Every structure is written in C-alpha cells, then in structure tokens.
Amino acid sequence: AQTVTQSQPEMSVQEAETVTLSCTYDTSESDYYLFWYKQPPSRQMILVIRQEAYKQQNATENRFSVNFQKAAKSFSLKISDSQLGDAAMYFCAYIPPGTYKYIFGTGTRLKVLA
C-alpha cells in the first residue's frame, strides 16, 4: 500500500534558525510527485513546494528546500531563517501520475519561538 509517514507530530524552532521536517513514503512506482503543504491556524492549506520524482535536483522555493532521496523514499523539508509566519501544520503528500489519489501524512505542527 502507498503510505506517507511523518514521524514528528510537533517541532519547535527559534526565529531565524533552520528546521527540517521529515517525511518518508512507500511506493512501488518509479514516477510520482511529492508535495509539502502548509496549513496555518484557521487558514487555507497552501502549497509550499513540489518535487517530481524523475528530477534528481532538489526543489527550492526561497527559504524552503527539500532533500529528496528517491532510493531511501525520503522527502524532508528544510526551512531556513524561520519566521513567525512559518508556524503552521505541515503536510507531506504523494501522488502517482495519472490519478487523483493524493496521499497525505498525518502532519507536523511547527512552532516558531520568538
């Protein structure tokens, strides 16, 4: 079965520091897509970053970057220079191509300490 595991229910980071959120997944597919979504308190979930499995280069979006290890089926999110506005639930998600079945992890609650 295809699954996504986020082993850290909660993380804390000091403002301006760097934090890494972990995600592992299980699939027999060779081509797929991975995402990190952010859900601030009482606000819409939004896309943070996206990675295609066929691309070896790690995706980056400003202060957000991923460490994609295909063989290890690992997809961690690194947030640099953490800001108070980064406090949110972060969800890792996977989707095989040609389907609508996004598979989400249970989420990691990130607290940013001033």
Partner 1 sequence: ETGVTQTPRHLVMGMTNKKSLKCEQHLGHNAMYWYKQSAKKPLELMFVYNFKEQTENNSVPSRFSPECPNSSHLFLHLHTLQPEDSALYLCASSRVAGGNTGELFFGEGSRLTVL
Contacting residues toward partner 1, per CB under 8 A: 4, 9, 33, 35, 37, 42-47, 50, 52, 91, 95, 97-107
Which one, 49 or 79, has the nearer CB to partner 1? Answer: 49
**Nearest approach, Cβ of residue 54 and partner 1 (Å):** 11
**Nearest approach, Cβ of residue 112 and partner 1 (Å):** 21
31 CB neighbour count, 10 Å cutoff: 11
β-pairing, 88-95 vs 64-69, is unpaired
β-pairing, 10-14 vs 24-26, is unpaired
From residue 89, how far is each of 19, 32, 69, 84, 106 by CA, in Å?
14, 23, 23, 13, 10
Nearest one of 64, 65, 51 to 95, comparing CA atoms:
51
Which one, 32 or 82, has the nearer CB to partner 1? Answer: 32
Which one, 1 or 114, has the nearer CB to partner 1? Answer: 1
**Nearest approach, Cβ of residue 59 and partner 1 (Å):** 13
Which one, 37 or 82, has the nearer CB to partner 1? Answer: 37
Check if the beta carbon of residue 114 is closer than 8 Å to that of residue 15: yes
**Nearest approach, Cβ of residue 106 and partner 1 (Å):** 5
